[in-house]
């Protein structure tokens, strides 16, 4: 399948719509006792323990997510900074025992659909202070790095990204992968959407942590998939790379590619995916060879149709909690009160999150559009709104109490009904696919989820709550039309005050 044959993306997207997508079985049921082990184990791999001691950033979460990219030359993260970036994006921050049949769940720094934690993180690096060059797997259970390959393999990254300018100067790259069966065991073929929802929220944390410690970074969405899979020693039919995050900036170091043998083997997973549509969509959106990567990255520039994002520094009026404290406190809100949040809180959450994503595609601002239903926002009439990213203003679409609508669009969940506001991230998917082919589906989902992940952090920094929700796809588009005509929902976020425990 060719990336340019965008019918595959539409086939997958339409087939995984709620409630009646033809790739979904409404009779399918998941039992918590089937929950897969949420991490890999490499028993024969040499391990390096990570340490979080040392200096702690005082940068606020709001500042970290809204700060523009640092472009300092000679910025090389050491093992301490790598430890912080990994822990505050993928690490275990709390554990709760729910009793049988669920048992104990180790919750991570970033949210994940169903707490199934199907996104894995790997590190490819040259020699760093405190850490030798190699390819590593990040094991969250022990907060350790497991050595898969020794030696400097950054030349493979250069090859796989067609010598992307930023990546070719980076001493370290994080690779995020999706283990399909670990999430599809509950969510069926819709899992591939979750691959980007969940990696996006992880990346929002990783980018914010990098910014807090002044480590320059760049998201890489264009890469030779098979080359990256080979470097990590994974089978793309079961585990696919979804994004790379290049860290640091230096002009020195050899990029020669050493010989590659086999990597240590992890025990086989409990499940393999029963939903071939996931692998089909991943394959159809894959790139093959440096030439195709370079052509894909440079052949088209996508211009957002509603404003070009933020031209000036963000109009942020609140500081909020420090980033690391925010991440430790964060959790997907399970119950909202009907209390109002302030218009200032909502404005800061929105405006601080849309600065655009430093990316190999050189996008000007986030490409998704944001539509809102305000249920309880002081100073804002209840109703539906469109958020203008150019000036940060909310345009009224329809006034009136819409809690019932909000609740229904959020798959009839109480959280969507009870929240102070719901935000719908929508993209003109045809426009994106025409620009980037099937891989544009990855771009659209990732763009929305990173923006939503930033909003997660902003909400908790301002002492309110947030949680991601799923939705009735076509009904959301219909509700916000004619303004949202031809747009598809990528993500939904509910924001509000958490119900106080009594």
- Return the structure tokens found at 277: 């549509």
State the average pLDDT over residues 387-409: 95
Q: What's the mean pLDDT when you consider all of the chain? A: 91
What's the pLDDT at 71? 54
Of the pLDDT bands very low, low, confident and very high (cuts 50, 70, 90), residue 313 is very low
Percent of the chain topping pLDDT 70: 93
Q: In Å, what is the CA distance from 344 to each residue of 204, 326, 378, 444, 455? A: 22, 19, 9, 28, 14
> What is the maximum span of the chain, computed from C-alpha positions, in angstroms?
65
- Return the structure tokens found at 494: 């509910």
Dihedral sign of CA atoms 271, 277, 280, 286 in order: negative
Beta bridge partners of 287: 224
Among candidate residues 433, 21, 392, 388, the one with its CA nearest the CA of residue 187: 21
State the average pLDDT over residues 395-421: 97
State the average pLDDT over residues 316-345: 87
Report how far residue 355's alpha carbon sits from residue 153's, in angstroms, rounded to the nearest whole number. 32
What's the pLDDT at 448? 97
Of the pLDDT bands very low, low, confident and very high (cuts 50, 70, 90), residue 72 is low
What's the pLDDT at 254? 62
State the average pLDDT over residues 329-352: 90
Of the pLDDT bands very low, low, confident and very high (cuts 50, 70, 90), residue 302 is low
Domains defined along the chain, listed by start? 7-260+272-299 (3.40.109.10), 323-496 (3.40.109.10)
Report how far residue 334's alpha carbon sits from residue 191's, in angstroms, rounded to the nearest whole number. 22
What's the pLDDT at 364? 64
Among candidate residues 331, 326, 324, 353, the one with its CA nearest the CA of residue 87: 324
- Return the structure tokens found at 484: 């949202």
Q: In Å, what is the CA distance from 200 to each residue of 99, 211, 381, 445? A: 30, 16, 31, 8
Report how far residue 108's alpha carbon sits from residue 141's, in angstroms, rounded to the nearest whole number. 10
- Mention every residue, 6+ apart, whose C-beta is less than 8 A from residue 280: 1, 8, 12
* 58-67, 111-120, 246-255, 338-347, range with the lowest pLDDT: 246-255
Per-residue model confidence as pLDDT tens digits over 134-148: 999 999 999 999 999
- Return the structure tokens found at 302: 């996508």
State the average pLDDT over residues 328-351: 90
Of the pLDDT bands very low, low, confident and very high (cuts 50, 70, 90), residue 159 is very high
Report how far residue 392's alpha carbon sits from residue 373's, in angstroms, rounded to the nearest whole number. 16
Per-residue model confidence as pLDDT tens digits over 22-39: 999 999 999 998 899 999
The pTM score is 0.94
What's the pLDDT at 308? 39
């Amino acid at each position: 399948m060719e990336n340019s044959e965008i019918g595959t993306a539409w086939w997958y997207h339409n087939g995984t719509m709620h409630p009646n997508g033809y790739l979904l079985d409404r009779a399918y049921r998941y039992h918590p006792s089937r929950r897969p082990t949420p991490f890999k184990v490499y028993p024969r791999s040499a391990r390096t323990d990570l340490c979080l001691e040392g200096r702690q950033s005082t940068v606020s979460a709001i500042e970290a997510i809204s700060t523009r990219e640092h472009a300092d030359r000679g910025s090389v993260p050491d093992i301490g900074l790598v430890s912080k970036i990994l822990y505050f994006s993928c690490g275990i921050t709390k554990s709760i025992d729910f009793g049988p049949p669920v048992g104990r769940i180790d919750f991570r720094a970033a949210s994940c659909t169903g707490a199934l934690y199907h996104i894995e993180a790997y590190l490819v690096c040259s020699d760093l202070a405190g850490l030798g060059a190699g390819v590593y797997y990040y094991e969250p259970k022990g907060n350790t790095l497991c050595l898969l390959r020794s030696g400097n393999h950054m030349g493979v990254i250069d090859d796989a990204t067609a010598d992307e300018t930023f990546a070719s100067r980076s001493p370290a790259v994080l690779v995020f992968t999706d283990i399909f069966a670990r999430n599809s065991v509950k969510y069926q073929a819709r899992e591939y959407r979750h691959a980007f929802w969940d990696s996006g929220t992880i990346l929002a944390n990783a980018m914010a942590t990098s910014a807090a410690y002044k480590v320059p970074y760049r998201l890489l969405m264009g890469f030779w998939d098979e080359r990256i899979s080979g470097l990590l020693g994974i089978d793309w039919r079961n585990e696919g790379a979804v994004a790379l995050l290049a860290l640091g900036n230096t002009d020195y170091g050899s990029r020669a590619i050493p010989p590659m043998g086999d990597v240590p083997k992890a025990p086989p997973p409990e499940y393999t995916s029963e939903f071939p549509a996931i692998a089909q969509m991943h394959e159809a959106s894959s790139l093959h060879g440096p030439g195709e990567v370079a052509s894909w990255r440079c052949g088209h520039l996508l211009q957002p149709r509603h404003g070009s994002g933020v031209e000036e520094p963000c109009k942020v009026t609140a500081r909020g909690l420090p980033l690391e404290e925010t991440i430790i406190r964060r959790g997907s809100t399970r119950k909202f009160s009907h209390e109002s949040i302030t218009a200032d809180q909502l404005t800061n959450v929105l405006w601080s999150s849309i600065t655009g994503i430093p990316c190999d595609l050189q996008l000007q601002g986030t490409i998704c559009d944001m539509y809102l239903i305000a249920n309880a926002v002081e100073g804002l009439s209840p109703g539906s709104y469109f958020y203008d990213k150019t000036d940060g203003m909310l345009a009224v679409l329809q006034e009136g109490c819409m809690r019932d609508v909000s609740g229904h669009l959020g798959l009839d969940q109480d959280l969507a009904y009870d929240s102070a506001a719901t935000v719908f991230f929508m993209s003109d998917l045809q426009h994106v696919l025409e620009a980037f082919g099937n891989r544009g589906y990855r771009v659209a989902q990732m763009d929305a989820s990173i923006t939503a992940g930033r909003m997660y952090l902003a909400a908790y920094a301002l002492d309110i709550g947030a949680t991601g929700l799923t939705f009735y796809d076509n009904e959301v588009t219909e509700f916000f039309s004619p303004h949202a005509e031809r747009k598809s929902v990528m993500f939904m976020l509910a924001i509000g005050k958490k119900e106080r425990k009594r």
